[in-house]
Amino acid sequence: MDSEYYIGEIPEVMKTLDDILNLAKEIGPKKVAVAQAEDEGVLLALEQARKEKIVDAILVGRQDRIEKLVLRHRIDMGKFEIQPESGGFSASLRCCELVNRGEADLVMKGLVGTAHFMKAILDKKKGLGTGKLLSHVAVFEIPAYPKLLMITDAAINIAPSLVEKAQIIQNAVDVAHSLGIKLPNVACIAAVEKVYPDKMPSTLDCACLSVMARRGQIKGALVDGPFALDNAVSEESAQIKAIDSQMPGKVDILLCPNIETGNAVYKTLIEFAQAKCAAIVVGTKTPVVLTSRADSHETKFTSIALGVAGCQKKGDPESNLS
């Protein structure tokens, strides 16, 4: 890790998820199509987002169940459009069609299972694919870290190749750009900070990705690695191990080597570090709000805000968000 390639500190544009919400307010309201919207947490998040004037919603799903939840929580039925659809896959496909027809700006997963939802997103005729790799980007507000920290990929790509990791980084960089971070710091994570090609191939990937960024194969970011997690986020830890990089403690994006690592880091931050989170899928025609049915109402709301913020990249030929 050679510090000569590090060309300065990045302004800490985004420190909290409220900063993303404020950006979404400037951009919105956007129209979000929700697949199988008969989900209590999703409807509450949508109502909050509507009141914050960042989205209007088209609720696709079982109309009777949606209306029952709307009445239970005293949500004004007239504020949302409902399009009846009984199946999870068919509801997801309908949402994609709404985007493709220009009737919606982004898509959100409701009660539908992730497999059926993503099958629709990837449908060759009616989906939202662009030919690029799809990836999951989570943005965390962590009490112990001075700015927002992005984690990728915790939900989509199981064991990405070197080339796929480069695309995953580029996707996350596009999200960072949409948040106003012009040149994000990307730390590639492994178990150790040294390269062991035979025993730990992921460390070699980290080193290769760093070189690829220097040569312009990954654009708009500074990439370094391998780092152990503590060496990436703690300047003191990096100094103790004599790591020659100015990136530790200033990281904007953490690239995880596989889905197990990404998922574990994601859930550890939420369960043990009192972190707040927003998450979307990118590489599609428009941001896709993909949250777990077990995610909190707050996570679903902040994820909607992140999706709206990502919409500002629409039409930018260098962005994977469009």
The whole-angstrom separation of Cα 236 and Cα 161 is: 31
User: What is the structure's pLDDT at 246?
Assistant: 86
Query: What's the distance, CA 293 to chain centroid?
Result: 16
> How far is the CA of 269 from the CAs of 130, 173, 187, 258, 289, in angstroms?
31, 21, 17, 17, 20
Residue 279, token pair as written in the block: 């998450």
Locate the domains of the chain by residue range: 3-313
> How far is the CA of 105 from the CAs of 121, 193, 197, 288, in angstroms?
14, 41, 44, 10
Q: Is the CATH code 3.30.420.40 the one for domain 3-313?
A: no
The whole-angstrom separation of Cα 303 and Cα 322 is: 18
88: which residues sit within 8 A by CB, 6+ positions away?
Answer: 35, 36, 111, 112, 113, 116, 117
User: What is the structure's pLDDT at 13?
Assistant: 60
Residues of the chain with pLDDT under 50: 1-12, 314-322
User: What is the structure's pLDDT at 313?
Assistant: 54
CA 272, 276, 281, 283 torsion-angle sign? negative
User: What is the structure's pLDDT at 171?
Assistant: 97
User: What is the structure's pLDDT at 28?
Assistant: 80
User: What is the structure's pLDDT at 7?
Assistant: 36
